[in-house]
Amino acid sequence: MVNMELLSNVQARHSHDLKDIGKLWQLRKLGVVIDDKDSHLRNLLQTISDLHESLRSLTITASAPVSTPCEGTPSSAEFPDGIGSLLQNRPKMLESLSIRGISLNPLFIKGDNKKLAKVTLRSTLLSQDDLKVLAKLPKLRCVRLQHITCTEPMLNFKKGEFGCLKYLLVEESDLAITFEHGAACELEKMVLSFSKGSISGVDRLQNLKELELNNSFCGRLLSSFGNVSQIAKLTLRGTLLEQDALQILANKPNLRCLVLLNESFVGGIKNEITLKDGFSWLNLLVVDCSAITKIAFTSGSAPRLEKIVWSSFTSLSGIHKLLSLKELEFNGGQVPDEVREGIEKHKNKLTLKHMDQKL
């Protein structure tokens, strides 16, 4: 027991349960669920302090999420007297931190933390001071902000900050996101899913290669990425786009992979969309959207498209016009006749992989 290295999803019913965990001095990964009580918080912080030399991954979940700021959510300055002092030794080897339902992040992201690479905050409060501390973490590569409330409704990435950040997710957090010149210069992937807010300065992200948009509001943000030419992979889900939006995508000179998932498009006439001129470097198209009944390809569109993965909701028209096409992967029952005819017409010997969902 003393040699245990992993302990996850521990439900601490009594505060002394947390004290016992502090004796597991080789524990590398800890996931604990606590009540939002002073006694639980105090013993948890003491335990983390005791494990400061071994912990690499820490997940803390409040069993009953705290109230919103306007209802009295504690900020870092409002913790019970002396509670912060119980964390005498911050985990110096901590690489991954996840906090849900309680505002403890100021106690862990401050100080000399040179190894923290992944931070997930969910249903918690994030102040501008917290954000500044996050921005200075030298090895921070992944940030997930899910259902957070900010003391100010903005997320401002400033010059020289978040220098190693590779992945950013913002989910159901209504923020105005701004990137200044020289901010988050290594950011490669962004995932957005929120119903209010804005985003600007993304054209300054020279290394942004992958973008995922996950609802109708984020679909309206697509135009904000119009000048981001280096995006190589785009995933759309729930964006409810129309045919006109394809023109923005068609003009992406480096777009190599396009993934259209459920409710990504509402479709046009008869729920069809047409890929016309453009998509010069697209080589993989994935379609799993019930609203799209047909995708039509015209001569000259997607000249480098090599593979299409699609589902039974959709038929494909004009695939014989895709001169570089090599492989088709169908997820569904019977392959549409129109597709089989296109395969026969094609100058290449196409490979058809049929994944029958009934099997």
* Residues 5 and 111 placed together within one structural domain of the fold: yes
How are strands ordered across the β-sheet holding 175-179?
154-157, 175-179, 197-200
- Would you say residue 321 lies in a domain? yes
Residue 169 lies in a domain: no
Same domain, 123 and 215: no
Same domain for 148 and 229, yes or no, is: no
* 293 domain-assigned: yes
Average pLDDT, the chain: 86
Judgement on whether residues 138 and 230 belong to the same structural domain of the protein = no
Predicted confidence (pLDDT) per residue in 185-219, tens digit = 999 999 999 888 889 999 999 999 999 999 888 88
Q: Which residues on adjacent β-strands are paired with residue 34?
A: 62
Of 177, 184, 90, 201, the residue nearest 135 (C-alpha): 184
Whether residue 202 lies inside any domain: the answer is no
**DSSP character at residue 353:** E
pLDDT at 226: 84
Question: Domain for residue 184, yes or no?
Answer: no
- Give the DSSP letter string of 201-247: -GGG-TT--EEEE-SHHHHHGGGGGTT-TT--EEEESS--B-TTHHH
Query: Is the same domain home to 21 and 101?
Result: yes
Q: What are phi and psi of 339, to 5 degrees?
A: -70, -45
* Domains held by the chain: number: 2
Tell me which residue range forms the domain holding 351.
Answer: 211-359
Q: Mean pLDDT throughout 249-275?
A: 87
Lowest mean pLDDT among 37-41, 173-177, 258-262, 297-301: 37-41
pLDDT of residue 67: 42
Per the model's pLDDT, the better-predicted residue between 130 and 79 turns out to be 130
Q: Are residues 354 and 224 in the same domain?
A: yes
More confident residue, 108 or 282: 282
Which range among 21-25, 94-98, 111-115, 161-165 shows the weakest confidence by mean pLDDT?
Answer: 111-115
Q: Does residue 161 sit within a domain?
A: no
User: 293-311, pLDDT tens digit by residue?
Assistant: 999 999 999 999 999 999 9
**Span 311-328, average pLDDT:** 94
Question: Could you tell me the pLDDT band of residue 355, with boundaries at 50, 70 and 90?
Answer: confident
Question: Does 275 score more than 80 pLDDT?
Answer: yes
**What would the two tokens of residue 333 be?**
């029952």
Residue 168: band (very low, low, confident or very high) from pLDDT cuts 50, 70, 90:
very high
| Model pLDDT for residues 34-90, shown as the tens digit of each residue | 876 677 788 888 888 899 899 999 999 987 654 434 333 444 434 555 666 777 888
Asked if the model's pLDDT at residue 240 lies above 80, the reply is yes
- Judge if 357 and 225 occupy the same domain: yes
User: Are 144 and 6 members of one domain?
Assistant: yes
Mean pLDDT over 109-133 rounds to: 85
Pair (220, 148) in one structural domain: no
Reply yes or no on whether the pLDDT at 227 is more than 90. no
Please give the Cα distance from 226 to 132 (Å, whole number).
29
Confidence (pLDDT) at 150: 83
Q: Give the HSE-up count for residue 5: Cα atoms under 13 Å, Cβ half-sphere.
A: 2
Q: Work out the pLDDT band at 130, boundaries 50, 70, 90.
A: confident
Residue 357: the pLDDT is 55
Q: What is the DSSP string of 95-151?
A: -EEEEESS--HHHHHSSS-----EEEEESSEE-HHHHHHHHT-TT--EEEEES-EES
- Same domain as 10, residue 102: yes
Is the domain of 234 the same as that of 312? Answer: yes
Domain assignment of residue 189, yes or no: no
Q: What pLDDT score was predicted for residue 169? A: 97
30: domain CATH number?
Answer: 3.80.10
Residues paired with 155 in a beta bridge: 177
Please check the confidence at residue 24 and state whether its pLDDT lies above 60: yes
Query: What's the CA gap between 289 and 133, in Å, rounded?
Result: 41
Residue 243: the pLDDT is 84
Domain contains 42: yes
Same domain, 145 and 14: yes
Last residue of a domain, one of 117, 152, 187: 152
pLDDT confidence of residue 122: 93
Which among 152, 181, 197 is the end of a domain? 152
Cα 337 from Cα 356, distance rounded (Å): 16
- 11 or 260, which is more confident? 260
Share of the chain above pLDDT 90, in %: 49
